[in-house]
Chain A
Amino acid sequence: MSKTILAVDDSGSLRQMLTFSLKAAGYGVIEAVDGRDGLAKAKQQTVDLVLTDQNMPGMDGLSLIRALRGMKKYQKVPILMLTTESDDAIKAEGRAAGATGWLVKPFDPDRLTEVVQQLIG
């Protein structure tokens, strides 16, 4: 069974790009439009990897990561943050919150799938 990735981003175009790239690489993708949506979907279904944007309305990426790490089933699941280069402080916080790593926007879709493959095969 193919692995499932939860992609959380408030930007529709980026979401589409994430989904397209990941599906092309053979993963199943669940999209969420912000942290809250992401958390709800992560609860409904267990995913193998979470990709989340940081700056989102409603609930930001950091809060989502903290919430996920607080759940037993997400303690070991890789979580990648998508950030911009201006978010240095956020990266440190992301690590503290439990992010596995991050990708800096803009990133190349190929690079994304490489990183994802390294993490979950």
Chain B
Amino acid sequence: MTIDMSQFYQVFFDEADELLAEKERLLLVLDVSAPDPEELNAIFRTAHSIKGGAATFGFTDITDVTHILETLLDRIRKGEMALTGEHVDAFLAAKDVLDMLMAGHRHGSTVDRDAAVAVCQRLQALADGSSGTSPEAVVAPVAPTSAPAADAGPVADADGNFRFRVELPQVPERDVEALATELALLGSVSRETLADQRTAFTLVTSEGRDNIVAICAFVLDPDALKITAANPASAPAEAVGSAAPVEPVPVVAVPAPVASDPAADAAPASGENRNWGRRATDREPFNAESSSIRVGVEKVDQLINLVGELVITQAMIDQRIGALDPIAHERLLNSASQLARNTRDLQEAVMSIRMMPMDYVFSRFPRMVRDLAGKLGKKVEFVTRGAATELDKGLIERIVDPLNHLVRNSVDHGIEMPEKRRAAGKNEAGTLTLSAAHQGGNIVIEVSDDGGGLNREKILAKARQQDIPVSDTMSDAEVWQLVMAPGFSTAEVVTDVSGRGVGMDVVKRNIGAMGGNVEIRSVPGSGTTISISLPLTLAILDGMSVKVGDEVYILPLGYVVESLQPAPVDVKEIAGQGKLVKVREEYLPLIPLYQIFDIEPAFADPSQGILVILESEGKKAALLVDSLVGQQQVVVKNLESNFRKVAGISGATILGDGGVSLILDVSALLRSSRQLSNDPVFF
């Protein structure tokens, strides 16, 4: 029976991904001057495990890299070689190469073989260079006369087979026969009797030497065996080239590994206690694995969708029984309210399946900050807070790019060079904090640095230059918002500490598309905080339903500030430019919803209808509707998946009575309000 190994690939890839991430995390916290032996062990183990899996499943390129990596790490953890920053850099580079190789196998993406070779050479150079003892020299003292490891490797013949000569010690004939049978399992065996009555086999096999030793170990002590590589002419092969690897797997030619060193004995022996101590940190991922299952996202989404339908159905029932006589139908009503509670609990539980800890995103930043700070010659201490805060998986994947941008900006432009910081009386190393926390129905993610802060004057000057309308009396908050104006950033401010607008418009747009907001707080000389506020999930939304004519629309509750009926005197008309309404001494643009969707309203006069004050991205506007219907949780149905994107609409939902209602895209409405004109606002 032959087993199809490819069925295990996915598990291997997932596992290797986890191991690589773990390896990177450990490398980043490693104190180079005084490395914790437990951490070194754990790092070694990641390379070791990946190598084992890669070799088993036949990913030789991954085996090649991990083999050198493992060898080098092994020497370091045994104290044969001192750890340097150079090592850490090379290990991190190797991690990247492994990621790339893995992606190549997994997704068929392009693989840069040169990079793999380069990283192997870099690691090899480190392995050769530092200790002064060549690996061969380390091996030599352990190689007993009969030890298999001391021999040169065999060369494969045209069929990929190796030829070995196995000389047995004096053993009973019964054992010789048993061995011959065993060895025959590996390949073809020929037997000869030596002058001293001992037996020698010549074995042609595709297996490695270790398997031969393993087989013989069932019958006799392998140390008593003499296995040599035989050349194709079947003579004992002292002359065979030593560059070939011992294993048939084409491992990059590395001198015999250091594991044979006597010092190796010390590691496992004393390793027992130390390993037990490792539990707390090291075992966790494995425990997590055994108490969780992997499920495809589409299954979860289907579940969420079904629960969404259930919520709608439940709302329908609620509406129907509302019309019943509460006394005559008391028991039915009780059961219905029980059902409502259960539905809500079920919904929450199902939604939580999609929730992932922010750590999923945060964990990729320590490395990036380290690399970036190193490149720029800055010192940056990276702190994360609230990594356990959970966010919907869909959002978490989309938050990566914007956060990437913000963190980069902070290191690049926020945190000053060490000299400058010292001159300003600050700690040489800047602090960059990434935090996440729940605030009401939102999650707030903040990137903050203790750098130079934004420069108000420069931003204003830049804005003027780009014809963005500004005034000197603008509040700081408004000035900071300017850096997120489309096209604000240009390359020339990139190098300037004050210029932070690098791609900020993109960040803002991306966050906006996720239903979130970006806010900037900055104090000159002491730093900048960029705060992103996101809804916890995209699938369910707290909405306010409003009515215009016969249509009911949903406004996401997060944008609603208040609603009011204005006095006629507070509504001002600007000729040809639409209307303004004065609310608490503030003039807000008035957006008549009936005009936008071209429907017949019950009231065209603002003083008869209701104004809903909306706020997004620091801008406010008043939306004119006929009446408020109520507040409710709605299940968001995407229009784009079955129809197309509609300007001004972010989605649809099914109401309790079975009717369909559109969810308004408040950010787009507010953007359009800035044009303050009677022209159609959407195209």
Are B57 and A13 in contact (CB-based, < 8 A)? yes
Stretch at the interface among B264-272, B307-315, B518-526: B264-272
Are B8 and A88 in contact (CB-based, < 8 A)? no
Residue of A17, A34, A105 near B286 (CB, 8 A) is A34
Are A13 and B282 in contact (CB-based, < 8 A)? no
Residue of A21, A87, A111 near B259 (CB, 8 A) is A87
Counting CB contacts under 8 A, is B1 at the interface?
yes
Residue of B3, B49, B71, B286 near A110 (CB, 8 A) is B3
Are B56 and A105 in contact (CB-based, < 8 A)? yes
Are B283 and A20 in contact (CB-based, < 8 A)? no
Interface string of B40-53 (1 = CB under 8 A from A): 00100100110111
CB distance from A109 to the nearest CB of B (A): 4
CB distance from B50 to the nearest CB of A (A): 9
CB distance from B639 to the nearest CB of A (A): 41
Residue of A33, A89, A111, A114 near B265 (CB, 8 A) is A89
Are A59 and B276 in contact (CB-based, < 8 A)? yes
Counting CB contacts under 8 A, is B197 at the interface?
no
Chain A residue with the shortest CB-CB distance to B48: A55
A 60-96 contacts with B by CB, 8 A = 60, 62-63, 84-93, 95
Are A88 and B275 in contact (CB-based, < 8 A)? no
Are B211 and A57 in contact (CB-based, < 8 A)? no
Are B279 and A58 in contact (CB-based, < 8 A)? yes
Counting CB contacts under 8 A, is A45 at the interface?
no
Interface of B is mostly: helix
Are A57 and B208 in contact (CB-based, < 8 A)? no
Are A101 and B218 in contact (CB-based, < 8 A)? yes
Contacts A13-B11, A55-B45, A86-B259 given; does A106 touch B55 at CB 8 Å? yes
Are A104 and B52 in contact (CB-based, < 8 A)? no
Residue of A55, A91, A104 near B211 (CB, 8 A) is A104
Q: How far is the CA of A13 from the CA of B50 in the complex (A)?
A: 10
Interface string of B52-65 (1 = CB under 8 A from A): 11011110000000
Counting CB contacts under 8 A, is A103 at the interface?
yes
Q: Which of B210, B213, B264 has the most CB of A within 10 A?
A: B210
Contacts A34-B283, A89-B142 given; does A58 touch B3 at CB 8 Å? no
Residue of A17, A56, A62, A88 near B56 (CB, 8 A) is A17
Q: Which of A58, A86, A89, A101 has the most CB of B within 10 A?
A: A86
Interface string of B1-19 (1 = CB under 8 A from A): 1110101100110110000
Chain B residues whose CB sits within 8 angstroms of the CB of A111 once the complex forms: 211
Residue of B45, B51, B52 near A57 (CB, 8 A) is B45
Contacts A13-B11, A60-B272, A111-B211 given; does A85 touch B247 at CB 8 Å? yes
Are A85 and B246 in contact (CB-based, < 8 A)? yes
Contacts A33-B286, A55-B48 given; does A85 touch B210 at CB 8 Å? yes
Are A55 and B265 in contact (CB-based, < 8 A)? no
Chain A residues whose CB sits within 8 angstroms of the CB of B49 once the complex forms: 10-11, 55
Are B56 and A59 in contact (CB-based, < 8 A)? no
Q: How far is the CA of A17 from the CA of B282 in the complex (A)?
A: 23
Chain B residues whose CB sits within 8 angstroms of the CB of A118 once the complex forms: 182, 218
Are A84 and B260 in contact (CB-based, < 8 A)? no
Q: How far is the CA of A78 from the CA of B29 in the complex (A)?
A: 41
Q: How far is the CA of A113 from the CA of B497 in the complex (A)?
A: 65
Counting CB contacts under 8 A, is B278 at the interface?
yes
Contacts A88-B260, A106-B56 given; does A60 touch B268 at CB 8 Å? yes
Chain B residues whose CB sits within 8 angstroms of the CB of A103 once the complex forms: 211, 214
Q: How far is the CA of A107 from the CA of B393 in the complex (A)?
A: 38
Are A60 and B56 in contact (CB-based, < 8 A)? no
Q: How far is the CA of A88 from the CA of B12 in the complex (A)?
A: 25
Interface size on A, residues (CB 8 A): 49
Q: How far is the CA of A84 from the CA of B148 in the complex (A)?
A: 15
Q: How far is the CA of A92 from the CA of B223 in the complex (A)?
A: 9
Chain A residues whose CB sits within 8 angstroms of the CB of B8 once the complex forms: 13, 16-17, 20
CB distance from A19 to the nearest CB of B (A): 10
Contacts A20-B3, A55-B48 given; does A107 touch B211 at CB 8 Å? yes
CB distance from B9 to the nearest CB of A (A): 8
Are A89 and B259 in contact (CB-based, < 8 A)? yes
CB distance from A31 to the nearest CB of B (A): 9
Are B272 and A59 in contact (CB-based, < 8 A)? yes
CB distance from B54 to the nearest CB of A (A): 8
Counting CB contacts under 8 A, is A14 at the interface?
yes
CB distance from A116 to the nearest CB of B (A): 12
Q: Which of B15, B52, B221 has the most CB of A within 10 A?
A: B52
Chain B residues whose CB sits within 8 angstroms of the CB of A90 once the complex forms: 259, 264, 268
Are B283 and A12 in contact (CB-based, < 8 A)? no
Chain A residues whose CB sits within 8 angstroms of the CB of B332 once the complex forms: none
Contacts A20-B3, A60-B275 given; does A100 touch B218 at CB 8 Å? yes
Chain B residue with the shortest CB-CB distance to A62: B268
Are A102 and B217 in contact (CB-based, < 8 A)? yes
Chain A residues whose CB sits within 8 angstroms of the CB of B394 once the complex forms: none
CB distance from B292 to the nearest CB of A (A): 12
Counting CB contacts under 8 A, is A40 at the interface?
no
Known: A10-B286, A85-B257. 16 other contacts (CB 8 A): A10-B49, A13-B53, A14-B52, A16-B11, A25-B1, A33-B290, A54-B268, A57-B283, A59-B276, A88-B147, A88-B148, A103-B214, A104-B210, A106-B249, A115-B214, A118-B218
A-side residues, CB < 8 A to B, are: 10-14, 16-17, 20-21, 24-25, 33-34, 53-60, 62-63, 84-93, 95, 100-107, 109-111, 113-115, 118
B-side residues, CB < 8 A to A, are: 1-3, 5, 7-8, 11-12, 14-15, 42, 45, 48-49, 51-53, 55-58, 70-71, 74, 142, 147-149, 182, 185, 208, 210-211, 213-214, 217-218, 221-223, 246-247, 249, 257-262, 264-265, 268, 271-272, 275-276, 278-279, 282-283, 286-287, 289-290
* Interface pairs (27), CB distance under 8 Å: A10-B286, A11-B53, A13-B15, A14-B52, A17-B56, A24-B1, A33-B287, A33-B290, A57-B275, A59-B272, A59-B276, A60-B275, A63-B272, A84-B51, A85-B247, A85-B257, A88-B148, A91-B213, A93-B265, A104-B208, A104-B211, A104-B214, A105-B52, A106-B57, A106-B58, A106-B249, A114-B185
